[in-house]
Structure 1
Amino acid sequence: MAQIIQWFPGHMAKAFRLMRENLKLVDVVFELVDSRIPESSRNPEVDKLIGNKPRLLIMTKADLADPDQTRAWKKHFEAQGYTVLVLDTRDPRTPQLVTKAARRAVEAKKAAQLAKGIQDQPIRAMISGVPNVGKSTLLNHLVMKNVAPTADRPGVTKKIAWLKTPTKLELLDSPGVLWPKFEDQNIGMKLALTGAVKDTIFAKDDAALFLINFFREYRPEAIIDRYHLNDNIFNQENVDVLLSITSKLGFKDDYDKASERILNDLRKNKLGAFTLDLIETKND
């Protein structure tokens, strides 16, 4: 039986309370989602908290995701009425792209304020997202200096802070926040695979078996080519495929070590760009 994945430490509960208290201070919420899991990385509790407040939905890590899937998800979110920005945070145009999109998101609110004679002020935005979605990386690009610690692991930012940007944004950074219970364990697994959940919280062999099953349907050549498998091996049960990969990697029967290698290969894009949340794509 697969291990139940859940991670909601005390600092997340505190951060959520602070977000609720500070929401009234901002014009717009930057809701960051991981392009590899655009739906699974949306926090339902934060979604309810934001409510009708203007939001800019930013799809981060687009360079790591399947571009066809990213385009389809962008259209899907836009059809729901969101202002959406697809972002590779390494792009030097990031500050300008985000500022322009933020202005679009608050256009109606700012127009109403001007009609009342309220002088135009810098846009105040709260940055929200699950752990390791790229909030600190984005923040450092917007402020144009390293003001927020970054690492490819969850839980690096643990407090709320205000920061100003050269493009006249005032940003309220917040820690990555999950929610108390994942109703669907597939969501928990996808969050774990992309680094939103601490690695000590889930079993690596469960993760490897999930990935083998996923790539079997999605893009089998990614596993076959990476681990030099033949079709006969890959047509076996997932457990047998994992044992074959373990042997191919020279780990004898240490499938835990092999599972960790598969997970690291996924995160380092050695299995290619991928999207775990699949949506129907249409050829334009």
Structure 2
Amino acid sequence: MNYQWYPGHMTKAKRMMQEDIKLIDLVIELVDARIPLSSRNPDIDELGKNKARLILLNKSDLADPKYNRLWSEYFKEKGFHVLEINSKNGTGVKAIQGVVQEACKEKIERDRKRGIINRPVRAMVVGIPNVGKSTFINTFAGKACTKTGNKPGVTKGKQWIRLNKGIELLDTPGILWPKFEDQAVGMKLAFIGSMNDEVLHIDELSLDLIHFLQEKYDGVLKKRYEVEPVGNTSDILREICVARHCYLKGEEPDLQRAAAIVVEDFRSGRLGRITLEFPE
């Protein structure tokens, strides 16, 4: 399967961000903790150069704790400030205010020397579709400031949100890059739901996921579905069909339905805390 998805509004979003970046002190980038590199848009580093940077490992509750720690160390070594968060339940979010002040202390000190006191830090919130930006902003603000949805592309325009005297946020639409150089990146993005499922073949996606789990998280499929994950991925999917009673008329296995179950069980965390890529 070829993984590509780049709705037209994303080109407009990128132009908008290029115009707004001069107003910004800090770029807050949300990444999915399960795929911290593949869920980063490489354009963001170019857009945000010379700005303070904060990376939030969002959905860290769905990722392997061991790799959350390793990824935090990886990004810190690259010069980023980093926090693990869960924007849905607010875990880690309270710590952000202090990290923002730390990340922007040079800017705050420059303002103080110029006699500018209490000008809020202006932060741009960026990230790919469905990484949880709007949920994060609403949790951080303690109120519903933005539209949210469990699908990519909910945020179409920009909006400024004044959180308190110390920080203003600029929300931006999620943007992917026009073409993935590495199809493995596209596959991981499809796994976590950052592409529209309507343009994907869920049966093929589930086979790729099953293959990964066999290699890196042996025992997960057996524990969840009470199957023996032996043979090729198609055989295992058929076993899951039987275990989950997924049949069409005439007792024909409903592979499409079983595939959707496997993918959704991964995305929701029902398969356990799983990280899909690992720091070098």
**TM-score normalized by the length of structure 2:** 0.93
Alignment partner of 2:20 out of 9, 19, 22: 22
Structure-1 residue corresponding to 2:130? 132
Q: Please say if 1:247 is aligned against 2:242.
A: yes
Q: How does 1:152-191 map to 2 (within 5 A)?
A: 152-166=150-164, 168-191=166-189
Contact 1:83 1:101 in 2 (8 A): yes
Say if 1:129 and 1:222 are closer, same or farther in 2 by CA, change over 3 A.
same
Alignment partner of 2:85 out of 81, 84, 87: 87
Deviation at 1:168, TM superposition (A): 2.5
What is the Cα-based RMSD across aligned positions, in Å? 1.6
Q: SS of the residue aligned with 2:164? A: coil
Which range moves more in the overlay, 24-33 or 141-150? 141-150
Q: SS of the residue aligned with 1:124? A: strand
Alignment partner of 2:232 out of 228, 233, 237: 237
Whole-angstrom CA distance in 2 between matches of 1:92 and 1:45: 28
Deviation at 1:91, TM superposition (A): 4.9
Whole-angstrom CA distance in 2 between matches of 1:158 and 1:143: 20
Structure-1 residue corresponding to 2:9? 11
Contact 2:35 2:188 in 1 (8 A): yes
Structure-2 residue corresponding to 1:269? 269
Deviation at 1:35, TM superposition (A): 0.6
Whole-angstrom CA distance in 1 between matches of 2:189 and 2:178: 14
Deviation at 1:112, TM superposition (A): 2.9
Whole-angstrom CA distance in 2 between matches of 1:93 and 1:264: 23
- Please list every run of 5 or more consecutive structure 2 residues that lacks an aligned counterpart in the other structure: 247-251
Structure-2 residue corresponding to 1:151? 149
Equivalent residue pairs, number: 275
Contact 2:59 2:87 in 1 (8 A): yes
Which range moves more in the overlay, 52-61 or 14-23? 52-61
Deviation at 1:52, TM superposition (A): 2.2
What is the identity percentage for the equivalent residue pairs of Structure 1 and Structure 2? 40
Whole-angstrom CA distance in 1 between matches of 2:62 and 2:3: 24
Deviation at 1:93, TM superposition (A): 6.7
Deviation at 1:65, TM superposition (A): 0.9
Structure-2 residue corresponding to 1:215? 213
Whole-angstrom CA distance in 1 between matches of 2:167 and 2:114: 22
Deviation at 1:240, TM superposition (A): 1.6
- Please list every run of 5 or more consecutive structure 1 residues that lacks an aligned counterpart in the other structure: none
- Once the two structures are superposed, residues 46-66 of structure 1 have per-residue CA deviations (whole angstroms, 9 ceiling, x without a partner) of 222112211111111111111
Q: How does 1:41-52 map to 2 (within 5 A)?
A: 41-52=39-50
Deviation at 1:95, TM superposition (A): 5.2
